[in-house]
A = this chain, B = another copy of it.
Amino acid sequence: MKRIGVLTSGGDSPGMNSALRASVRAALALGWEVIGVHRGYSGLISEEFQRLDSRSVSGILQFGGTILQTARSKEFFLDEGRRKAVTIIKKNGIDALVIIGGNGSLTGALKLHELGVTTVGIPGSIDNDLYGTDMAIGVDTALNTIINAVDKIKDTASSHDRAFIIEVMGRESGYLAVMSAMASGAEFAIVPEVPYDIKAISGKLRRRYEEKRSNSIIIVAEGATSAYQIEKELRDEIGFETRVTVLGHIQRGGSPTVFDRLIASQFGYFAVDFLNKGGSGKMVGLVKDDIVFTPFQDAISRVRPIKKELLTIMELLGT
């Protein structure tokens, strides 16, 4: 191994810069050369390359987003585009790729691996929908951003004795919804993994209303339904007026938390260590506090079930 490329792909998540810094410095410490690929697979195909030294990644670990930028590439979706990428990788003497991203990015990494390119993946995705890691980079920061927002909304909810419905990210996974509901003391979480029962929700809201506790919080994962839909159903069901907030893109940004910086730094370090030991085709992850490597195929296709027990505890505590 002499020369590796690093790229960030798909939706950005806080901590990608920390992972980038760690993988660059770990590679340099092995005496390798590092090429930063700008704008993900798109920049790979168009050869947007930059030689990275230790200083190129100085002072970036505390910033959200990714200094390499990211993009979605239509060309890379096609076989031809991917073969072009392989040619470019070879032409530039790149021996291996570190790919930081979510489900789509690792699907691309798998394709490259199948075409003979040495690759390692680092999970970066606030949805936390990858198998093979308990937490992807950015999830902890996104959760803290969500509860800071919910804490602010609770000021108004308490002052006005009002119910709020808050929509958070999570297309396939209710992870953000369940965890933020528990951490913010919400009364309900509505998630893709479990069908919701509007009668049960309206019944509990009504009971709380009768006890003069009208300031409820309902967290909805975007993959389950929309907050506006729940608002409508509650109005139709019990004539209950609620307010809706869709948190949107603020969930992706911000300075990464300690946890995200720590896992990102370790993922970056161990991903390079994995390449150094001759590995390829796997994603680094944290499972029960251990660094583990999972084949791309499993990481992108297997499902990490939601802990239903947490949902039960959450509802019991948010009485």
Contact = CB atoms under 8 A, between A and B. Distances in A.
Interface in A142-194: 143-147, 149, 151-156, 158-161, 164, 179-180, 182-185
A289 interface: yes
Instruction: Specify the main secondary structure of chain A where it touches its partner.
Output: helix
Interface stretch (A55-63, A76-84, A293-301): A55-63
Nearest to A287: B289
Contact of A65 (B66, B158, B243): B158
Interface in A284-319: 288-290, 310, 313-314, 316-317, 319
A245 B248 contact: yes
A29 interface: yes
Contact of A59 (B12, B69, B158): B158
Contacts of A39: 161
Q: Which of A65, A155, A179, A257 has the most CB atoms of chain B within a 10 A radius of its CB?
A: A155
A124 B166 CA distance: 25
Q: How many protomers of this protein does the assembly include?
A: 4
Given A69-B161, A185-B62, A317-B22, A140 B259 contact: yes
Given A66-B159, A183-B262, A316 B253 contact: no
A256 B143 CA distance: 12
Nearest to A316: B29
Given A248-B246, A316-B26, A317-B26, A63 B155 contact: yes
A252 interface: yes
A250 interface: yes
A249 interface: yes
16 contacts: A22-B317, A25-B316, A26-B317, A29-B319, A58-B213, A64-B155, A134-B289, A140-B259, A152-B249, A152-B250, A152-B253, A153-B249, A155-B253, A180-B258, A183-B262, A269-B317
